[in-house]
Structure 1
Amino acid sequence: MEERELTEPWEGVLVAPDSDSGTGVLVLSGSSGRIEQERARILAREGMVALSIRWFGGSGQPPGICEVPLETFVSAIDLLESVGVRRFCLLGVSKGAEAALLTSVYDRRVDGVVALSPTSVVWANVGPGRDGQRHPYRSSWTWKGHPLPFVPYDDEWAAGPKDRPVAIRGWYERSEETFADLLPAASIPIEETRADVLLVAGGDDAMWPSLPFAERLADRHRASGGTTHLISRADAGHRPRLPGERPAPAAPHFRYGGHPSADAELGAAAWPHILRLCLR
């Protein structure tokens, strides 16, 4: 494999396989903001050109997930196209899955999306925008300079003791109830993507209800005639691990649900479907 670090127009890593299948995968982290180098290497070993980028918190980017331009991901697809990629896939987890699904709606080049622990709606910002402010709530994403409709958070929800990691799934569930009238406009329009979609979710996700979200996405995509597969495991949490990946790091602030063996087994169950979607 050949690995190249990128610094412009964003930080990232591009990993090229020894034997190129013609597929390129854009790999997106969740709210950690990290570059998913290990995951990119694993995909490259299977013959895919794998690109992972820092999409917030870097130079010239919003410091938080606040009004992040979806064009950020379009430009990453442009880079994959420039190195000879012919089939384009996106693989994202959590907020990265939200970005991947939305990008596939707006960029018709996307052939496949792997959404790990996804959401079915656009949520408000996580962290500050370019102005350094977290409030009032704004959309996580923009397209052509316009914020996408979103669901804000109900700050009346109480997380419990702050001296231990907290599960915030209830915050998302409460916010959906409080702002139910905003859900239709904020729904990710999965009906409009031409991409095949693979959804992977754990029933014990403690960050947000990714399995119910995934079920909604699957129902709407299938009803529109799209190709969707949903892989789930009742005892897995928010961070499924693919074969060859190390266990997810310890989290001092949040509970993610599941446990390492269930998260690894969910990733193992999804792995052949990931390869089938990306390498067809």
Structure 2
Amino acid sequence: MFVIGDGPTGVLVLSGSSGRVEEDRCRVLAAAAGATAASYAWFGERLDRVPLESFDDALSLLHGRCDRLVVLGTSRGAEAALLLGALHPEVDAVVAISPSDVVWAALSTERPQRSSWTRGGEPLPFVPYDDSWAPVGDPPEYVGLYEHCLEAYADRVPAARIPVERIGGSVVLAAGGDDRLWPSLDFAEEIVRRRTHAGLETTVVSHLEAGHRVVLPGETPPAPSHLAHGGTPAADAELGRRLWPEVLRVLMA
């Protein structure tokens, strides 16, 4: 596990499906926000049936060292962050960048499809992928796949929804309107709708021209990808600048 800083707020930083250790983001959070930031490779070869209990050691380490506890995740890591916020009352805030409001199938070619997550050894309900769907573009866009699957498997959606109403701490969402990987802004709006119905406040930061990969101030822009993420470098960085005051707020509360 990569850990940096010795501030009063501990933040667990979770990457998306790249699986990388977010050292650059941790350094930025430690230097600019005075946080104790930690990151690690939270799944193995595939994002497939990851036990939610597998995050317990990292959360316990930060909780034992710090006065406050925050989970910051991107994409599939945001999926994890929201689930952890719902399960762990000691989490004071969740920052979900390019989030989903539902649990998705594992990122695996094995069939039948399985959940990305388990709890107590049991798989969480999930929305599956339609194997007949083909991506478009070069690099390929997958936003249409997620939109299609929400409609095609509408009967699976209610059970697969992440219980964001159970997150007692602060929730900050960031989403780009030009996300070409999945419809993160739609997902963020659904999270807000359900939390508002439960009487809970949620902060949403967005930029209509930004894509899936948000760049915080001080971070190194990501390398080109074999997948379409949408946005532009300028818009992705602008969304990061808009998000930054909210990140500081939850880290320095």
TM-score, length-scaled by structure 2: 0.97
Cα offsets for 1:189-248 (capped at 9, x unmatched): 100111210000000000000000000001111221222100000000000100001111
State the 4+ residue runs in structure 1 displaced beyond 6 angstroms.
none
Secondary structure, aligned partner of 1:110: coil
| 2:76 aligned partner, one-letter code | K
Residue 65 of structure 1: how far off its partner (Å): 0.6
Task: Choose from 68, 73, 76 the match for 2:58.
Answer: 76
Residue 135 of structure 1: how far off its partner (Å): 1.7
1:112 pairs with 2:93: yes
Residue 240 of structure 2 corresponds to which residue in structure 1? 267
State how 1:36-115 maps to structure 2 within 5 Å.
36-45=22-31, 46-57=33-44, 63-82=45-64, 84-115=65-96
Asked if the contact 1:74–1:107 (Cα under 8 Å) also holds between the matched residues in 2, the reply is no
Cα offsets for 1:50-91 (capped at 9, x unmatched): 00011012xxxxx21110011122221111123x21110000
Cα offsets for 1:79-125 (capped at 9, x unmatched): 1123x211100000000000000011111110100000000100000
Distance in 1 (CA, whole Å) between partners of 2:159 and 2:95 is: 23
Residue 159 of structure 2 corresponds to which residue in structure 1? 185
Cα offsets for 1:26-53 (capped at 9, x unmatched): 0000000000000001111121100001
Distance in 2 (CA, whole Å) between partners of 1:121 and 1:85 is: 30
Residue 279 of structure 1: how far off its partner (Å): 1.2
State how 1:115-264 maps to structure 2 within 5 Å.
115-127=96-108, 134-160=110-136, 164-251=138-225, 253-264=226-237
Distance in 2 (CA, whole Å) between partners of 1:260 and 1:160 is: 22
- Counting matched residue pairs gives 252
| 1:118 aligned partner, one-letter code | P
Asked if the contact 1:201–1:214 (Cα under 8 Å) also holds between the matched residues in 2, the reply is yes
Structural RMSD (CA):
1.1
| 1:65 aligned partner, one-letter code | L
What is the identity percentage for the equivalent residue pairs of Structure 1 and Structure 2? 50
| 1:71 aligned partner, one-letter code | E
TM-score, length-scaled by structure 1: 0.88
Residue 165 of structure 1: how far off its partner (Å): 1.2
Structure 1: gaps spanning 5 or more residues:
1-11, 58-62, 128-132
Distance in 1 (CA, whole Å) between partners of 2:21 and 2:68 is: 22
Distance in 2 (CA, whole Å) between partners of 1:67 and 1:88 is: 25
